[in-house]
Structure 1
Amino acid sequence: MKIILLFLAAYLLGSIPSGVWIGKLFFKKDIRDFGSGNTGTTNTFRVLGKKAGIVVMAMDILKGTLATSLPMIFHETTLNPLWFGVAAILGHTFSIFVGFKGGKAVATSAGMLLAYQPLFFLYSTAIFVVALFVTSMVSLSSMIAAVLITLSTIFLSAIAPVILPTHDWLLTIIAVAVTAFIFYRHKENIQRIKDGTENKVPFGLNKQK
């Protein structure tokens, strides 16, 4: 029963539609009616601006961090904390509060890493930032980072156990699944990238002119 309640709590944490609530409460806007229609961080930046975007990004990361930390907080050692992070990712993507729709799981997945292995979170963040600087596209950077992070879970567990515990195969398996899911959620972005119409951020080597 305790595990079930913790899974439910993790899902509900992930389900908090940060961008929707911030938009409605402070800007009187439903971000689902603007931009990409997505409820996540990127569309919040696009529709509500930098300050709101930063707040929503922090909240979405925190959702994953808190959910992954639940078994540690409540001294539940039966299951790996990553499973509770997965519940938060599912909640973020299929939120019960907004008709089982949601974001694309990138920020909440990062929050899961922050709780599970902070050094690997910093390493993964660096990969994303470099990819964003090179491409100037959040969507493409997210997909590139997801692939490189997944590959890194294999290599770093062997050569840098300080950053990532040796043979952490569960993290690798979940990383593969999350990467596939991120690509699926970005299928429309992939088409826009092919067409040359994907939105770009105003900085980096390929910034919007």
Structure 2
Amino acid sequence: MEWLYAALAGYLLGSLPFAYWFGVLQNKNLLLEGSGNVGATNAWRVLGAVPGLMVLVLDVSKGIMAVALGEFLARDPGGGLLAGALAVLGHCYSVWLLGRGGKGIAPSVGVLFAVQPALLAAALGLFGLALLLTQSRYRGVVLAALAFPLAALLIGGSLPYLWFGFGLAAPVVLRYLGDWNRQPTARPPQSGPRS
């Protein structure tokens, strides 16, 4: 039961849609404005720099907190891996937004930092290499995420890290695949609410 509690806690913590709530405070619906993405980048574009930075800090923090809470509830470091991966899933597919959400980068940063900073360094390195090769941050994220499970296994040294890598990468890949063909300089619509 402890592992189930860790999983549920991780998902529910990750699913907290801070960007959406900040939008509500300004009478804006981030699901309908900007890119329609409920994350720090769209919050910055639609709501401004200060709310965007606050959302970024909160989204990174919920990744860190999910790992700590998962370890505490499961009484095992593996509980942190499970809760961390599910926090990213919850961020991308929030129950409070009927399956909508962000793209998972900010909570992933928090999760990787909390689990092992070397994992965060590896993820950033993979992204930098993929970005250099593709000249597209969208494709760079997808390729880095696809390569990350192997890096997690090599750094963590055990199979749970491989499954953690897959669990962390899967929702990020799914959320970014739709942007695969977007041009490097293209930006999502900046107009008002969509019809």
Give the TM-score, by structure 2 length: 0.78
Q: Does 1:12 align with 2:49?
A: no
Q: Distance in 2 between matches of 1:86 and 1:176?
A: 9
Opposite residue 99 of structure 1, the aligned amino acid is L
User: How far apart, in 1, do the equivalents of 2:117 and 2:66 lie?
Assistant: 15
- Shift of the 170–30 alpha-carbon distance from structure 1 to 2, 3 Å rule, reads same
1:187 equivalent among 177, 180, 191: 177
Name 1:174's counterpart in structure 2.
Answer: 164
- How far apart are the structure 2 equivalents of 1:150 and 1:182? 13
- How many Å apart are 1:13 and its aligned residue? 0.7
**Using the alignment, how far apart are the partners of 1:49 and 1:175 within structure 2?**
33
1:17 maps to amino acid: P
* Cα distance in 1, alignment partners of residues 8 and 20 from structure 2: 21
Distance 1:59 1:135, change over 3 A: farther
Deviation (angstroms), 1:197: 6.8
Match in the other structure for 1:91: 90
Q: CA separation in 2, counterparts of 1:42 and 1:177?
A: 23
Percent identity of paired positions between Structure 1 and Structure 2: 31
Does the 8 Å contact 1:189/1:198 carry over to 2?
no
Which residue is 2:142 aligned to? Answer: 143
Q: Residue deviations 1:84-123, cap 9 Å, x none?
A: 1122122112212222321122222222211111232234
* Alignment-mate amino acid for residue 117 of structure 1: Q
**What is the distance in 2 between the residues matched to 1:107 and 1:146?**
14
- Residue 46 to residue 135, structure 1, CA distance change in 2 (3 Å): farther
Aligned 8 A contact 1:13 1:63 in 2: yes
Provide the C-alpha distance between the structure 2 equivalents of 1:186 and 1:133, rounded to a whole number of angstroms: 18
State the one-letter code of the partner of 2:30.
I
Map of 1:160 onto structure 2: none
Of 157, 181, 187, which aligns to 1:199? 187
Unmatched runs of 5 consecutive residues or more in structure 1: 158-163, 201-209
SS of the counterpart of 1:33? coil
How does the TM-score come out when normalised to structure 1?
A: 0.73
Cα RMSD over matched residues?
3.0
In structure 2, give the amino acid aligned to 1:192.
R
Secondary structure (helix, strand or coil) at the match of 1:16 reads coil
CA distance in 2, matches of 1:126, 1:55: 26
| RCO higher in structure (CA 8 A, sep ≥6) | 2
Give 1:22's aligned amino acid.
F
Deviates more, 1:140-149 or 1:59-68: 140-149
Q: Which moved more, 1:37-46 or 1:142-151?
A: 142-151
Which residue number in structure 2 is paired with residue 113 of structure 1? 112
